[in-house]
Amino acid sequence: MTQTRHYFGTDGIRGRVGADIINPEFILKLGWAAGQVLGGGQGNVLIGKDTRISGYMLESALEAGLTAAGVGIRLLGPMPTPGIAYLTRALQANAGIVISASHNPHHDNGIKFFSASGDKLPDAVEQKIEAMLAQPLTCVSPEKLGKAQRIEDADRRYIEFCQSTIPSDMHFNGMKIVIDCAHGATYHIAPSLLTETGADVITIGDTPNGTNINDQVGATHTDTICQAVLQHGADLGIALDGDGDRLMMVDVTGQVYDGDDILYILAKSHQRQQTLTGQLVGTIMTNFGLETALNQAGIGLVRTQVGDRYILEKLRTEHWTLGGEPSGHIICRNHTTTGDGIISALQILAEIRRTGKDLMELSQGLEKFPQVLINVRLNGAKAADIMQSNPVKNAVREVERQLGRNGRALLRPSGTEPLIRVMVEGRDAEQVQTYAELIADAVRSAR
């Protein structure tokens, strides 16, 4: 039976800065506990972060805890989450630590870990870290304390790795691209990389100040990049989130392409090049229209729980190539070990260059079902209690009865925020909206 985890969620440990567990005292202890579990020795753990102002505080606390455990540290500074995963592997570190709350507002922050292979830590290792948190903190003798050093060329190493995922003779000359870095960890990497490929790059969301990360910009706020693409007459737009592991794209008309659209284009690209291994991996949130379109193309789709860690686990177990989520986490397992917005965008750009088709043409054959997602804040209530309440269960059952085989309803707690997510999918957009509101109202009442 799987042991319950008290601190780790689907994507590490996350919360509001200064409250609960995202505070210097807990993070220092977390660094010490992780050091005990992940191993000692000089220079064994990498630490990178996004652009939140709280990252400085948490980085210092982690550094103190790790060095007290006798673990050496290499500091990367602001670095996309997938860049930290890559560098952990490339620099042969014992582990990589990311200080980020991804797409959340600046007042949240979090800690997530990568193993030496650049993968998310297995549940069993996270459980060992949690168990160690219950032990009293000790300090190694002075001569055994860990040391910290900064990796000065981390940006260049990651840029060159990203460039290596497309043909060396491919360039994007003549393409006008808007890129939105969400005032996050890609602000100093993605624009430079695209410029080096020959593209005409217009950059937004590239002036982080510590508190503006994901603020009306990036993959979670695509209105901004849609307006920029139209304003500049660009060929397309690329929107990343605060830590660079999500991708949304925009075509010349201002239409947004989410993770399901991107996954479809990449699947067809792999199929055309005969590089697709096995089936695609999506989640319970993957649009039924994508599954239908893939099946018509002779490509299977397997669903997992929500969270890229579960997609990665399935891809790794089956030795398959490609998976992703509607939120824009796209995993190109033939290139990297985690969701990577920059690498996924490069694969789409390469397919545009190879075929001469734009995003609209490449997505032909995909007709997504109308899908409505409503987030309901818990306001201190327990998600499990709300979801098990009779009024909520009755509302879900009634919607499922009405939809029959022409849609589905899904209720789940968020793994990263104090929310319950209500999703309804069906063939009729107006009906889907009505049903989603019905369930959301039941959740609010139960709260």
What H or E segment, with its residue span, contains residue 408? strand 407-413
Active site residue 102: yes
Helix (H) / strand (E) containing 331: strand 330-332
User: How far is the C-alpha of 323 from the C-alpha of 348, rounded, in Å?
Assistant: 15
Residues 105, 108, 114: CA angle, nearest 5 degrees = 110
Q: Which of 316, 319, 287 is nearest to 303 (CA)?
A: 287
- Report the length, in residues, of the chain: 447
E strand intervals along 148-214: 148-150, 176-180, 200-204
Give the span between the Cα atoms of 57 and 392, in whole angstroms: 41
Residues with Cβ < 8 Å from 387, sequence gap 6 or more?
A: 393, 411, 413, 420
Residue type present at position 140: V
Tell me which H or E stretch contains 49.
strand 41-49
Handedness of CA 324, 329, 331, 335 (dihedral sign): positive
Could you say which of 100, 102, 269, 327 is catalytic?
102
Element at 191 (helix H, strand E): helix 190-196
Catalytic residues: 102
